[in-house]
Chains A and B, each alone.
Chain A
Amino acid sequence: MTEFLQQLLNGLSLGAIYALIALGYTMVYGVLRFINFAHSDVFMVGSFIGYYVGHHVPENTVWGGLVVLFVAMAGCALLGMIIERLAYRPLRGAATLNVLITAIGVSLLLEYSGQVFFGATPRTFPSVFPSTNFTLGTLVISSNQVVVIAVATLLMVVLELIVFRTKIGTAMRAVSLNPKAAQLVGVNIDVVISFTFGLGSALAAAGGVLYALNYPSIDPLMGVMPGLKAFVAAVLGGIGNIPGAALGGLLLGTVETFVNGSQWSTYKDAIAFAILIIILLFRPAGLLGKASVEKV
């Protein structure tokens, strides 16, 4: 039982990070109907911003950790908006395939620029939040897990409020449902798309910092696997569906952790993806997605 709870806790804290990244994929898909493959590299840049800022704040303090998080989120929000403005906006109205290929290009650009600027050697992420272990009965809870789960939950609540309670959030949902109709009621679609990229990238940056707290070795290619898994999580939950991305992330993180703790740990990724395939066989639109006909 203890082991089960322990694994569940580990799984949820990994899943919360996947969920944060998955939200960015799903939101961008919602407004633009394409997969932003560069998103996983924005996550990586988030870690690196955290790494540099982390060396300028005192280690092991809550406020230092929050400063690191905040700067990384702000920096990546800006980066996301710049990427959208320079790479994707000129292709508005072009075939989806062209945009997808561009996204892969941006992804490679970020990864290899990362190698130029940060170097290819992995670096050790500073421990910016205080780190201790709490014990609850036989359960061991690390303070980093608490930070991960608390920050992720808080950000998801804030996101929920933005999307469902603010004017720009309603505009986002309107653009996602019908971009033409949204324009006809006066929504400036460029502003909404830019905002969506900013929001998604900020969440990816938070994911990057939180991931680095638990897996403190960071390098310019670190985004590839978590990014792929978060993408899978978004598809699993139903791409374009915000609660779906959160659910998909938590589910994938938990399954992966449980498999990792079992005798089949070598196959953890294979098993995670096999589960994806099986779920999609039965629910092609994802867990919370609605089947829809692609409009031409």
Chain B
Amino acid sequence: MLTVTNLEVCYGAISALRDVSFTIEAGRIVTLIGGNGAGKTTTLRTISGLLRAKRGSITFKGEEITKLPPHQIVARGLCHVPEGRMVFSNLTVDENLAMGAYLQSDKARIAQNREYVFSIFPRLKERLTQAAGTLSGGEQQMLAIGRALMGDPKLLMLDEPSLGIAPKLISTIFEKIVEINRVQGITILLVEQNANLALEVSHDAYVLETGSIVMRGASADLRNNPELKAAYLGG
């Protein structure tokens, strides 16, 4: 579904990604793990078009999207839930969801997606008229995911959905991520610092270190990898 080949990204003179290649098969949950500054967020931002690649290519459903602007990438069904959630804080929950469907014109489909979002995150329905900025961190994350689901994604990219969220809500959110994948068949690319959690819910994993992929494999195998255990899984 998504193929990234020899991706190289720079911030000015500093290179953030040196040579990143990976593929995501349709229907899978794939995780990209790695420490702070490894280039995980940069990878997602480049895929969704917020950053420009210096070299390399990104193809989505067989189409080259490397040079497309973000709104055209979203239109193709590749939605990105950014790090830090980035909900529109002064807009209501309702308006945030409406913004998620910005490119959708099929009213019936929008209503259907809305119902689906409420079915997995009933909390959002209770808070419809509230400004998004007044929600708790966990609720904002739900809203950010819900907003992305309103865009009818084929591939959903999640950047650190566990960041700054009460531990109790983390498990709820991860359950829902698995459910979105299993029930809706939406492919998921999950970036996480919490490697244990990420390997638990995903099928395949890539380990990113200072801008390069250093390890890849089935998540179940990586969980028992001694090297990885020492580096990311707390022994």
| Nearest CB on A from B217, distance (A) | 30
List, in ascending order, chain A residues with CB within 8 A of B139's CB.
none
- Whether A177 contacts B80 by the Cβ 8 Å rule is no
- Whether B86 contacts A180 by the Cβ 8 Å rule is yes
- Whether A174 contacts B69 by the Cβ 8 Å rule is no
Map CB proximity to A onto B40-81 as digits: 1 under 8 Å, 0 otherwise.
000000001110000000000000000001110011000110
For chains A and B in complex, what number of residue pairs have CB atoms within 8 angstroms? 66
Does B91 sit at the interface, judged by CB under 8 A?
yes
Cα of A171 to Cα of B95 in the assembled complex, Å: 10
Q: A186-B74, A187-B71 are in contact. Are A174 and B50 (CB under 8 A)?
A: no
List, in ascending order, chain B residues with CB within 8 A of A171's CB.
99, 102
Q: A173-B88, A173-B90, A178-B88 are in contact. Are A185 and B100 (CB under 8 A)?
A: yes
Which listed residue (A167, A177, A186, A187) contacts B91, Cβ 8 A? A177
Which residues of A (164-182) have their CB < 8 Å from a CB of B? Answer: 167, 170-171, 173-174, 177-178, 180-182
List, in ascending order, chain B residues with CB within 8 A of A173's CB.
88, 90-91
Does A265 sit at the interface, judged by CB under 8 A?
no
Which listed residue (B87, B102, B148) contacts A187, Cβ 8 A? B102
Q: A177-B91, A186-B74 are in contact. Are A170 and B98 (CB under 8 A)?
A: yes
- Whether A181 contacts B50 by the Cβ 8 Å rule is no
Q: A180-B82, A186-B75 are in contact. Are A174 and B70 (CB under 8 A)?
A: no
Does B89 sit at the interface, judged by CB under 8 A?
yes
Does B214 sit at the interface, judged by CB under 8 A?
no
Enumerate chain B interface residues (CB-CB to A < 8 A): 48-50, 69-71, 74-75, 79-80, 82, 86-91, 95, 98-100, 102-103, 147-148, 150-151
Does A60 sit at the interface, judged by CB under 8 A?
no
List, in ascending order, chain A residues with CB within 8 A of B74's CB.
183-186
- Whether A174 contacts B103 by the Cβ 8 Å rule is no
Does A113 sit at the interface, judged by CB under 8 A?
no
Q: A170-B95, A170-B98 are in contact. Are A184 and B90 (CB under 8 A)?
A: no
Does A61 sit at the interface, judged by CB under 8 A?
no
Which listed residue (A167, A170, A180, A185) contacts B50, Cβ 8 A? A180
List, in ascending order, chain B residues with CB within 8 A of A189's CB.
71
